[in-house]
Amino acid sequence: MPSPLRVALIGYGFVGQTFHGPLLRSIPGLALELVASRDAERVHADLPEVRVTADYLAAVQDPAIDLVVIASPNQTHAPLASAALAAGKHVVVDKPFTVTLAEARQLAAEAEQAGRLLSVFQNRRWDSDFLGLQEVLASGALGELTSLESRIERFRPEVRTRWREAALPGSGLWFDLGPHLLDQALCLFGLPERLQAQLVRQRAGALTDDWFQVQLDYGARQVTLRAGMLAADGVPRFLAQGTAGSWIKQGADRQEDALKAGVRPGGPDWGQDPDSGWLITGDGERQALPTPAGDHRRYYLALVEALAGRAANPVPPAQACALMALLEAAQRSSAEGRALVPELTAAERVSY
């Protein structure tokens, strides 16, 4: 058997500790050997066997490391990824890829020049609810899809003191949840003709956007992406409507909750979702459709295959750049109050 790839995880905040640490340890072809964190005690409480350093730059350049996974604050993604590529490492960057489109395109060019794999962790392609949506669309039960609403709503009325809610580049709800909702829409339908966005501060004391609604225009098909922090009652995760009926999914994927509770990925019930999606036909008939199990491990399993030369990069730089172009276009659309056509290169336009 080939030796596992030696991995350095950069950052051990919520995302590093909750998602990347457990997922990396569940993949046979990967060995988590180094964590960059200023809280070694926190890391060693979960991972007593790994090395810990407070020097993030030294970690991405460590000669004993093959793959660098960057889960540090958003504005550090580009410089750390650039340093890792220059040191000859393969690189995974948590979403959002970078905080500007210019940074994203520069990193893509550096990866190509270095001959190294560069990928973005879009784990919600393997959410149970999204897999259920893909199944019902592929079945043809909705006829021609005419509209899709995709929402992640929470109830967190107090602004917290953390970088995600501070007035920093790449902070705010749009850069936090927008990349997930956008990527799912682009995987289904490709790039829209135009988009129109509203990015709003709703909570008292908010320093950055904490509510958004973004309309993706595909002509006769319209896609609405929405997230907020003041939804006390449950709302549908997905509502899909077509010429033959509708499909609605209330409960969201359970993997994040399981990871936060300390459940290790890969057990017999991993990713199971007890909430069915409901298919409603034009005559009002309702049918419960079981939701397939989600599995975020599939991102890293695909990555291992890509690094072995047996499969394509699961989230290549061209896709990451296209998504960054839409993230920026939405910011401009909200500021200017008008619909915009995203500015994409030819490679970006056909990346999804």
What is the pLDDT at residue 335?
A: 97
Mean pLDDT of the chain: 96
String of DSSP letters for 131-145: HHHHHHHHHTTT-SE
CATH 3.40.50.720 positions along the chain are: 5-123+299-316
Percent of the chain with pLDDT over 70: 99
Question: For residue range 96-121, what is the model confidence (pLDDT) as tens digits?
Answer: 999 999 999 999 999 999 999 999 99
Percent of the chain with pLDDT over 90: 94
| 192: pLDDT strictly greater than 80 | yes
H or E stretch at 42 = helix 40-46
Grade residue 197 by pLDDT with cuts at 50, 70 and 90.
very high
What is the pLDDT at residue 312?
A: 97
What is the pLDDT at residue 163?
A: 83
Is 351 strand, coil or helix?
Answer: coil
What is the pLDDT at residue 28?
A: 93
303, 108, 103, 87 alpha-carbon torsion, rounded to 10°: 80
What is the pLDDT at residue 213?
A: 98
The secondary structure of 203-232, three-state, reads CCCCCCCCEEEEEEEECCEEEEEEEECECC
The structural architecture, per CATH, of the domain 125-295+328-336 is 2-Layer Sandwich (3.30)
Cα dihedral sign for 83, 11, 126, 102?
negative
What is the pLDDT at residue 284?
A: 86
What is the pLDDT at residue 337?
A: 97
Question: For residue range 318-347, what is the model confidence (pLDDT) as tens digits?
Answer: 999 999 999 999 999 999 999 999 999 999
Question: For residue range 241-298, what is the model confidence (pLDDT) as tens digits?
Answer: 999 999 999 999 999 999 999 999 998 899 999 999 999 998 889 999 999 999 999 9
Question: For residue range 211-236, what is the model confidence (pLDDT) as tens digits?
Answer: 999 999 999 999 999 999 999 877 89
| 3: pLDDT strictly greater than 90 | no
CATH 3.30.360.10 positions along the chain are: 125-295+328-336
CATH number at 5-123+299-316: 3.40.50.720
